[in-house]
Each structure stands twice: as C-alpha cells, then as structure tokens.
Chain A
Amino acid sequence: MGERVLIAEDLYLLRDGLVHLLQAHGFSVVAAVESGPDLLTGLVELRPDVSIVDVRLPPTFTDEGLQAALEARRRVPGLPILVLSQHVEQLYARELLADGSGAIGYLLKDRVLNAGQFVDAVRRVAAGGTAMDPEVIAKLLASNARHEPLAALTPRERQVLEAMAEGRSNAAIAQRLYLSESAVAKHTASIFAKLDLAPSEDDNRRVLAVLAYLNSR
C-alpha cells in the first residue's frame, strides 16, 4: 500500500471525494475526521505519512484545523501536513512556514479540481517537500516587491522564483516554463546570487531557503 493519509474535512461531499481521489491514486486513508479535537488526536496518535486538513472545522468553525495542524507540528516536528482552505492568507502561510522544517503545504481548495497536480502536491508534502498555492506566493512576492534584491530579478527569474517557491523541483519548473533543466539551474543560481542565499543541490532545502527569505520580510 502507498502512503498513509489522514483527511480532516467537515463537508461530507468533499471529504468523500478526497477519500476516493486519494485511494484511486494508491494512498491508504487511515482516518477521515470532521472536527478539530478529533484531528489533533488523529495527527498525534496515528502519525500519518501525510494529512490533508481544512482550515475551518467544527466546533467553532474558525481556524480550528490550522490550529490543530500547528499544535501537532509543535508536538511532532516535521509531521507532513497539507492545509486546504477556501481562501489563502499570507498570515496563515507565514505561520505554517515559521518553523522552517518543510513537509508543509497550503493550497486553495480549488486546486483539488486538477486531480493530477493535487496528488502531485500531496506526494511532495509526504516526501518532506512543500506545496504553496501560487496565490500565496504571489501575495508574498507582492508585499516584497519594493525591496531591492527582488526588484533586480529579470522577469524570467521571477517566474522561476515563483515556481520554486510553490515547491516545484527543477524538472517540474523546466516542464512548466518550457525551458531545459540546465537553463532552470542557471536561473536558480542567478536568483540565489542576487538574493544572497547559499546555493544548494537539494530541491527541498532550496525551496525552504526561498520561502524563509520571503517570510523574513
């Protein structure tokens, strides 16, 4: 069997849809919970390989899911969690990224519509990578737009940076931007030089460096 998944979602249709979708892609669903307290117990006791968590859950219908995710990661550092929401907020993204340990995702619920990309994101998080919604990245970049190093990037480098911040590997970036992998590698090296970050061969570590950079502003 594939990775063990926990799903926390209060809307029955969506929860059921996610279970089917993930099972069809070879995941084994160990639990599907619908409230904040159940989620926290599940996360800490089952330690799933990856969890898919809705921000807004019963009983308070506020940010119950997010709080449970943050608390679980405090207790079990690096527990892979993919947070889903109807809206994305820089504030939440920054909180999720604050511990800098990776294995985290934050996507709009709309992304579930594109099953291939969504499953890809789940796998990435399970493997210790990150999956950030393009909208979050756009917001992070927009609030950094006026600062010197980012303003100095070329448009192409900016595109590469966006894709990288979303958590994509060099190969995936090359495919998306119709570039060769070596060209992507050249752009990343240039970005890292301009942002004054230490270069790294490891995809995950590179993404974390970029996110930490954006988050520090």
Chain B
Amino acid sequence: MAALLGTALVQVGILLFAVPAVILTFTLGLVFLYPPAVRLVRGTAEEARGRVGAWSGIRIASPYLPEPAPPQPMTDGLYRYERTLYKSPRVPAWNARWKWLTTDPATWRDLLWLLLDPPVKLALLPVLLVAPAKGLRVYGQWCALLLSATRTSVLRGQLTHLHRSRSIAADSQAAEMRRIERDLHDGTQARLIAIGMTLGAAEELMDSDPAAAKTLMSKARDTSAETLTELRRLIRGIHPPVLAERGLADAVRALAMDTALRVEVEVDLPHRPEPPVEAAVYFAVSELLANAARHGDARSAGVDISSDGPSLRITVTDDGLGGADPAKGSGLRGIERRLAAFDGVMAIDSPPGGPTTVMMVLPKVLPEHWAGTLPRLPRWKAVVVALCWSLAWCPTFPQGVVAAVFKTFEIPEKSWFLALYAPEPFQWPAILLMLALGLGMYATAIAIPAKHNRDRWLAEAPRRLGLG
C-alpha cells in the first residue's frame, strides 16, 4: 500500500520533468530533452509492469518496437539515411532513434498512462483499503489497458523478426549458390574441358600413333572418374542422396556410421518433416559431429531427434574437450543461420573439459495433428452435434412437413402432430416453427464441425502454403 502511494509520488516527480520536456521538444525544438524523457517514462512503465505482475499476477509484456541497428557504412564508407548520405554515423543513428521513439505508439501510451495513473491510484484508494486483493487486481487491469502490447505492436514486432530471418535465409542461400557455382566452374567444368581436349588429341593420334592414342583415352577415362567423384562430393554438400532417399532418421544414421566417432542415434518421429527442415537438421547434426571429432577430440557422441508437440527437438552430445563457442567458430554460426530460417534456436552447454551438449529446437515445424495437440472438437460441442443429427428429423419431417401436408389437405386426423392440437390461428406458425427448428438443428450439426475444421485449416495454412 505504502509502496503504491510512494510510487505515485515518484511518478508525479517524473511527470514534472517528462511532460515539459516533451512539450519543449515539439514547440521549441529542444530535441535533446526528448530521448532522456522517453527513457525515463519507459523505465517507470517497465517497473510498473514488473510490479503489477508481482502483485496481481497479471503479466504485461513489453510492447516496445526493437531498437534500430547501428548504421552500417556502405562500400564507399558513407552512411545513408533514407535519401541522404552522411560522413559520420552520428546523424543517421540519431535519425533512426528519433523515428524509433516517436513512431512507437507505446511511447505515447506510456505517457498517457503516467498522466492518469496517480489519479487512478487515488480513486482506487478506498477499494484498496477495504479489499486489497480485489483492488490490486483492478489496478492491474487498468495498467494492462495502457501498458500492454497492442495488436499493432505485436504484429510489427513479428514483422521485424520475419524481415530479419528472411534476409538471413536469403543471404545464406546466396552464399550457398556462389559456393556451388564456384565448385562447378573450377572443378567439374574444367575437368570436362580437359576430357574433351584429351579425347580430341587421341582422335588426331589414332592413325599415326595408336599406342599414344590409347594412353590418352585411358587418361580421359581416369579424369571422367575423378569428375564423377568430385560431382558426388558436391551433391552431398547440396542435398545428401540418403536424405532424399531415406529421410532424416536414416540419413543421420548413415552420417553416424561415416564419422570416426561411436555415435548413438535415437530418432523418434512419427513422420518425415518437410524436406527443407530435414536438410537444415541434417547439416546441423553433420556440422556438430564433425566439430566434436575435429576440435573436441571426442570418442563418442549421441544424437537424439524427437518431436515435442509441433516442435522438433534435436540434442547432440559428445564427450570431447568442450569449450565450443559460437563466437569463435563459423560452423556454429552457420548452424544458427540455417536454423534461423525456421525460427529455430540453439543452446550450447560446453564447459571447458567437456562434455558438450547442444540443444536445438525448431518450433512449429511439424504438422500439429501428428502430435495430437490439435484441438479436437470439445466434448460439449460433439454432444450438441450428435443430438442435432439424431433428433432433427423429428421436428422437420413428422412435426413439420407431414403436419403441413395434413393441414393443407385438411385431413381431420391429428395423430401425434403437436401443431394440429394448437388453436386454429396458431397452427401454421407452429408448423413453420417446427420446420425452422428442424432445419436449424441440421444447420448447426453441419456448421460446428465445419467451423472447427476451418480453424484447423487456417492454423496449418501458413505451412501448407510454404510460408511457415
């Protein structure tokens, strides 16, 4: 209680600085006051988010957009901000930060919250005194109203993230293409030219010196065998044939056989993941095993691949020297880049002296229904659907259609057609009501599963369309 009121006093103090600072920024152009003011307000808001979480259990996530990256010099050493070039990074950095702080709606929502929070606290004071728990919850809801992430900011955050992971994926793909091009150009193509030339020379010598021609031809054959070997190595680097032929589990087993380590492979997947995911996992495991043998001096290793709901979980352990650090090795960096395309993350536990454990998680890369986590139709909905299907005939046909026929042809028989027992002016409305009820039940029985399946389809759609 005292803390709550204490913070109110601090907030008033901060307001006395922040509000004039922001006003001065936009009226007199004292822009240097702006960043510290925003920083202070954000600090207060962040502190309040933490406190609300601790007091009332209402968790409020930070809504801020990610900070802009420091400007990168272009090839000519200049820095660009929109359509202007600068010699030093100072101005572009300032511009980017200015834009970041002013366009983020969270900045203004924070300020609004700060203005209104002290009066709200005062207003809530009686409730807090009488029922502290309830009062705190109300206070938490009030804070969540202005301090939590808006839909826009969540989407913007995701967009920034997608942007980044897309550019990483595109970069690594481009690099891969360049490597393949270089290999084909320097290796395969050059060797094929050599074979062609050797064969040409053999053709010329065929009549004059058959023995020399024969030597040349066998040389051409040797070169073609070498070319094949090289091509095979190249193909293995692009997409290993076992992976295409057998899928991830056997490909990793084949990999394990080919390393000098003793490797235990455990794969527990109900189906094959999508090919790009398989390839990423394969190359990650391949790199990790190679690292273990090359740098870690390991003797044995373990690979465990399993599904965790819709996520793919890969653990690679080895008994080597440890000390693996992504900051040092480009191989680990490469794995991170490959996984980033699938929002995958990697955690390395490698104390000096070993053992090393690398854990990778690729979230939501498996179709959800494999894992059985896909929401099944809730029980009550299933019961409603069953009841509708089993009972809808009754109001529709006997009580609706047949009663209508009896009524139309004025058949005196009433049988068990309820509507015909009603007084005369209500008989037709009652029949129509029965029909509407019956048809409505049929419609419900169809609509509930259809909507459920549509939600399920929508949940899977991004991946099906190749966007996930």
Contacts and interface: CB of A to CB of B under 8 A. Distances in A.
Interface stretch (A16-24, A122-130, A141-149, A166-174): A141-149
B446 interface: no
Interface centre among B225, B257, B259, B299, by most A CB within 10 Å? Answer: B257
B253 A113 contact: no
Given A62-B244, A62-B246, A90 B232 contact: no
Given A62-B245, A63-B246, A91-B253, A110 B229 contact: yes
Task: Give the interface SS of chain B, mostly helix, strand, loop or mixed.
Answer: helix
Nearest to B263: A143
B78 interface: no
A86 B232 contact: yes
Q: Name which of B232, B242, B245 has the most chain A CB atoms within 10 A of its CB.
A: B245
A63 B240 CA distance: 13
Contacts of B242: 87, 89, 91
A142 B260 contact: yes
Contacts of B127: none
Given A62-B246, A63-B246, A91 B228 contact: no
Contacts, number: 49
B257 A55 contact: no
A91 B260 contact: no
A142 to B, nearest CB: 7
B245 A63 contact: yes
A56 B225 contact: no
A186 interface: no
B241 A91 contact: no
Interface in B195-246: 221, 224-225, 228-229, 232, 235-236, 241-242, 244-246
Interface string B410-447: 00000000000000000000000000000000000000
B120 interface: no
Interface in A104-118: 108-110, 113-114
Among A63, A89, A94, A109, find the residue whose CB has the most chain B CB atoms closer than 10 A.
A89
Interface in B67-82: none
Given A91-B253, A110-B229, A113-B221, A143 B258 contact: yes
A89 B232 contact: no
Interface residues of A, number: 20
Contacts of A63: 245-246
Nearest to B247: A62
B382 interface: no
Given A55-B245, A110-B229, A91 B254 contact: yes
B260 A90 contact: no
Contacts of B232: 86-87
29 contacts: A56-B241, A56-B245, A62-B244, A62-B245, A63-B245, A63-B246, A86-B232, A86-B235, A86-B241, A87-B232, A87-B235, A87-B241, A89-B241, A89-B242, A89-B254, A90-B257, A91-B250, A91-B253, A91-B257, A110-B228, A113-B221, A113-B224, A113-B225, A139-B258, A142-B260, A143-B257, A143-B258, A143-B259, A143-B260
Interface of B: 221, 224-225, 228-229, 232, 235-236, 241-242, 244-246, 250, 253-254, 257-260, 299
Given A56-B241, A143-B260, 4 more contacts: A56-B245, A62-B244, A91-B253, A94-B257
Interface of A: 55-56, 62-63, 86-87, 89-91, 94, 108-110, 113-114, 139, 142-143, 145-146
**3 nearest interchain CB pairs?**
A91-B254, A63-B245, A90-B257
